[in-house]
Amino acid sequence: MSTPTPVLQARGLVKRYGQVTALDGADFDLLPGEILAVIGDNGAGKSTLIKALSGALIPDEGEIKLDGKPVKFDGPSDARRQGIETVYQDLAVAPAMSIAENLFLGREIRKPGVLGSLFRLLDKKKMMAEAVAHMQDLKIGIRSMKQAVETLSGGQRQGVAVARSAAFARHVVILDEPTAALGVKEGNMVLDLIRRVRDKGLPVILISHNMPHVFEIADRIHIARLGKRAVVVNPKKISMSDTVAVMTGAKRPDELPAEALA
Partner 1 sequence: MSSTPAAPARTPLRDMLEGMPPLATLGPVIALTIACAFFASQSDRFLTGQNFSLILQQVMVVGVLAIGQTLVILTAGIDLSCGMVMALGTIVMTKFTVDYGINAYLAIFCGLAVCAAFGFLNGALVTYVKLPPFIVTLGTLNIAFAITQIYSGSQTISGLPAALEFFGSTFKLGQTAVSYGTVLMLAMFLVTWYVLRETAPGRHVYALGNNPEATRLMGIKTNRQLIAIYTLAGFIYGIAGLLLVARTGVGDPNAGQTDNLDSITAVVLGGISLFGGRGIILGALIGAVIVGVFRNGLTLMGVASVYQILITGILVIVAVATDQLSRRKG
| Among candidate residues 141, 116, 138, 139, the one with its CA nearest the CA of residue 126 | 116
With CB under 8 A as the contact rule, which of the stretches 21-29, 66-74, 114-122, 209-217 interacts with partner 1? 114-122
Interface with partner 1 (CB under 8 A), residue from 192, 215, 219, 237: 192
80 binds partner 1 (CB under 8 A): yes
Interface with partner 1 (CB under 8 A), residue from 70, 106, 201, 257: 106
Q: Are 57 and 51 in contact (CB under 8 A)?
A: yes
167 binds partner 1 (CB under 8 A): no
User: Measured between alpha carbons, how far is 114 from 170 in angstroms, rounded to an integer?
Assistant: 29
With CB under 8 A as the contact rule, which of the stretches 45-53, 121-129, 211-219, 239-247 interacts with partner 1? 121-129
Handedness of CA 97, 99, 103, 109 (dihedral sign): negative
Between the alpha carbon of residue 67 and those of residues 70, 151, 232, 258, the distances in Å are: 8, 39, 20, 28
Q: What is the closest distance, in whole angstroms, from the C-beta atom of residue 253 to partner 1 in the complex? A: 34
With CB under 8 A as the contact rule, which of the stretches 85-93, 174-182, 200-208, 243-251 interacts with partner 1? 85-93
The C-alpha angle with vertex 188 and arms to 85 and 56, in degrees rounded to 5, equals: 20
Q: What is the closest distance, in whole angstroms, from the C-beta atom of residue 115 to partner 1 in the complex? A: 10
User: Measured between alpha carbons, how far is 262 from 259 in angstroms, rounded to an integer?
Assistant: 8
Q: What is the closest distance, in whole angstroms, from the C-beta atom of residue 17 to partner 1 in the complex? A: 21
User: Measured between alpha carbons, how far is 85 from 82 in angstroms, rounded to an integer?
Assistant: 9
Q: What is the closest distance, in whole angstroms, from the C-beta atom of residue 9 to partner 1 in the complex? A: 24
Q: Which residues of 95-104 are buried (b: 16+ CB within 10 A; e: fewer)?
A: eeebbbbbbb
Q: How many residues touch partner 1 (CB under 8 A)? A: 43
Rule CB under 8 A: which residues touch partner 1?
76-77, 80-81, 86, 88, 91-97, 101, 105-108, 110, 119-122, 124, 139-144, 147, 150-151, 153, 155-156, 159, 185-186, 188-189, 192-193
